[in-house]
Copies of this chain bind each other. A is one copy, B any other.
Amino acid sequence: MPQKEIVVGIDIGGTTTVIGLIDAEGTILATSHFATEAFPDIAAYIREMARQITTLLLPFSTEYSMKGIGIGAPNGNFYHGTIEHAPNLVWKGIIPLAAMVNKIMDTPVLVTNDANAAALGEMIFGGAKGMKNFIEITIGTGLGSGFVANGALIYGHHGLAGELGHTIAIRNGRACTCGRFGCLEAYVSKRGMIQTFTEMMTSNTDEIKESDAMDLQSITPAMITEMAMNGNAIALKIFDETGKILGLTLADSVCYTEPEAIFIFGGIAMAGDLLLNPIRHYMETNLHHIYRGKIAVLPSSLPNNSAAILGAAALIWNQI
C-alpha cells in the first residue's frame, strides 16, 4: 500500500480541460489537457478525461495512492456534483458530473464552481493558509467570489452562495448579462473595464484625439494595464473607477462576514497595485469605523496558470 497520497485536480473550461496531479503541499506532479469543445457528447468527454487521468497516474501508482478527484467547472454545484446550465459549455441542462466520473473512476469526486475552487485553493495552498474568515474575489470575463467563514466555504442552501458579481453596485446602472441593471460585474470584470474604456473615449473628444490611432474594438484589459503602467491618464482613471466600484462594494461585504483579508485573483489582478490601491483606498475610506484598519486587501498568492487545478484539488484536500 503506497503511503503518500495524491489528488486529481481538474479545471473544466469552455475551451480547454486541464488535469493535474497534486500532492498535499500543492506540488503539481504532472498535468495534461485536452479540448473540451472536441467532446460535445458528455459520455465521450468523461471517457477521455478518465483515460488521461489513468495515464497520468500510472508512473505514480507505486509511490502514491489517489484520494479523490476535485473538479472546478463553470456553474459547478458542490451539493449535487453537477454542472447546471453553464452558458459557456457545450453541454446544456444539468450534467450529473460527479456521478458519471465516479462510475468510471470509483473514487470520491467533488465539484464546485471556479470562484469557490479559487477560495479553497487560497485556503489550502495560498495566502489564506490558516485563515478562518476571508473573501476571494476572482476577476475574469465576469466577477466571481468565494466567502469563507468559521473556516468553511459558504455554499448556501442550494449551493448558490457567493455571487458578489451580481450584487447591485450602481442602482439602475449598466445592463448586466443576467438581465438586470448595475451588477458589480458589469463594471468590475474584463468586459466591464473595456466598456468603461469605450465610454470614456467616446464621451471625451480631447481624449479621442489623443489616441485617434487606436481601434476601440480591439482593446483588451492587458492593453489598458500597459497604458496605465506607462502613465496614460485615461487608463489610470479606468483603474481608479474600477477599484472605486469594487472598493465601495467591499466596504459593504465586510459588514457581512468581517474577513481577516480579501484576496483578489485573476488576469486583471495581475495589474497589482494599479488595481489594489484604488480598491484599498475606497474601501477603507468608506468602511464603518469599527472595521477601519483591520481588513487587508491582498493579491492572490496562487500562481495564475495553475490556480484552477490547485483549487479543484483543494476541494478534496479540504475534506480530510
Contacts and interface: CB of A to CB of B under 8 A. Distances in A.
Interface stretch (A17-25, A37-45, A256-264): A256-264
A179 interface: yes
Interface residues of A, number: 40
A164 B133 contact: no
Interface in A126-184: 132-133, 147, 149-150, 152, 154-164, 166-168, 171, 178-180
A252 interface: yes
Q: Which secondary structure characterizes the binding site on chain A?
A: loop
B157 A260 contact: yes
Contacts of A31: none
A157 B179 contact: no
A245 to B, nearest CB: 11
Interface in A180-199: 180
Contacts of A258: 154-162
A103 interface: no
A152 B133 CA distance: 13
A252 B167 CA distance: 5
A140 B159 CA distance: 32
Contact of A259 (B156, B255, B286): B156
A51 B302 CA distance: 56
B288 A180 contact: yes
A277 interface: no
A290 interface: yes
A102 to B, nearest CB: 24
A282 to B, nearest CB: 12
A67 B160 CA distance: 37
Interface in A221-275: 248, 251-253, 255-260
